Amino acid sequence: MLGGKDNYPADQELGERMKREFPAAVELALATRGFLRRSVRYLAAEKGYRQFLDIGTGLPTADNTHEVAQRAAPDARIVYVDNDPIVLAHARALLTSTPEGDTDYIDGDLNDPGKIVAEAARTLDLDQPVA
């Protein structure tokens, strides 16, 4: 629904069905992505955040968290979390950091926050603010 080339026939079929049954789905997906852009840019550029934890990453698309954050703050560090091996493979291939910053990827689930926090500490300084 956000466009892009990294999707599969099953994704396309579900997207078409969602558009038929919930016509506002595309508008909602675009609004959600817009909120991500605005909030990450604000936190990085206006509030000085340099660390972001993105749980439930999904397949990479335009203006991913690290791209938005590192445009405002090249030294920003971002940790992506997802439990889908296909998403993680795409993330590792496509979500690359600026030389000054860092990105990391965790195979994790929202239902296991202890694992997420422990593994995020490889990249994030948990004594500093994390968005």
Each residue's pLDDT tens digit, 51-105:
999 999 887 788 999 999 999 999 999 999 999 998 888 888 888 888 899 999 9
Angle CA(66)–CA(68)–CA(71) in degrees, nearest 5?
100
Residue 74 lies in a domain: yes
Task: Indicate if the pLDDT at residue 7 is higher than 70.
Answer: no
Phi-psi label, residue 3: left if phi above 0, alpha if psi -120 to 50, beta otherwise? left
Residue 45 lies in a domain: yes
Contacts of 65 (CB under 8 A, 6+ apart): 36, 40, 52, 54, 78, 80
The Cα 131–Cα 26 span in angstroms is 26
Query: Can you give the pLDDT at residue 14?
Result: 77
Residue 97 lies in a domain: yes
Query: Can you give the pLDDT at residue 8?
Result: 66
Query: Can you give the pLDDT at residue 54?
Result: 96
Residue 129 lies in a domain: no
Residue 36 lies in a domain: yes
Give the total number of structural domains in the chain: 1
Residue 72 lies in a domain: yes
Query: Can you give the pLDDT at residue 66?
Result: 94
What's 22's domain CATH number? Answer: 3.40.50.150
Residue 3 lies in a domain: no
- What pTM was estimated for this model as a whole? 0.82
| Domain range enclosing 27 | 9-120
Residue 131 DSSP symbol: -
The Cα 2–Cα 37 span in angstroms is 13
